């Protein structure tokens, strides 16, 4: 639900709420939920105007996921990136 706010024009609020969910999951040591929430953050960042930040976060999330043994996160990130490339998102 937090991510949906970003799609309704509430980019900053959606990003903040998605990050808060990731932080909460981390505090509870729910690793899978942390990565789900971080994927939501990444989807919000991908919709934003700052491509450099989105790309840097993408690389960090992928590295963190692989290090933790969560290859499915890297697979989802690759799918997200492929979809963005096909739609032309992020091109100036």
The three-class DSSP label of residue 91 is: coil
Tens digit of each residue's pLDDT, the chain (92 residues): 555 555 666 778 878 888 888 888 888 888 999 999 999 999 989 988 889 999 999 999 999 999 999 999 999 999 988 776 556 555 44
CA angle 39, 26, 11 (to 5 degrees): 40
**What residue numbers bound the domain in which 30 lies?**
2-86
Look at residue 20 and tell me if it is in a domain. Answer: yes
* Residues 81 and 48: beta-carbon distance below 8 Å: no
Query: Which pLDDT does position 92 carry in this prediction?
Result: 43
Are the C-beta atoms of 80 and 43 separated by less than 8 Å? Answer: yes
pLDDT of residue 3: 59
Q: For tokens 């690389």, what's the residue?
A: 59
Residue 24 forms part of a structural domain: yes
Counting the structural domains of the chain, the total is 1
91: in domain:
no
Domain membership of residue 62 (yes or no) is yes
Question: Is residue 92 in a domain?
Answer: no
């Amino acid at each position: 639900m937090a991510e949906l706010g970003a799609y309704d024009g509430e980019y900053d609020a959606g990003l903040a709420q998605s990050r808060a969910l990731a932080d909460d999951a981390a505090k509870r040591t729910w690793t899978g939920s942390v990565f789900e929430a971080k994927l939501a953050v990444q989807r919000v960042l991908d919709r934003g105007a700052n491509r450099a930040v989105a790309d840097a976060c993408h690389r960090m999330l992928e590295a963190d996921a692989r290090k933790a043994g969560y290859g499915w996160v890297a697979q989802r990130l690759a799918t997200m990136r492929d979809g963005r490339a096909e739609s032309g998102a992020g091109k100036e």
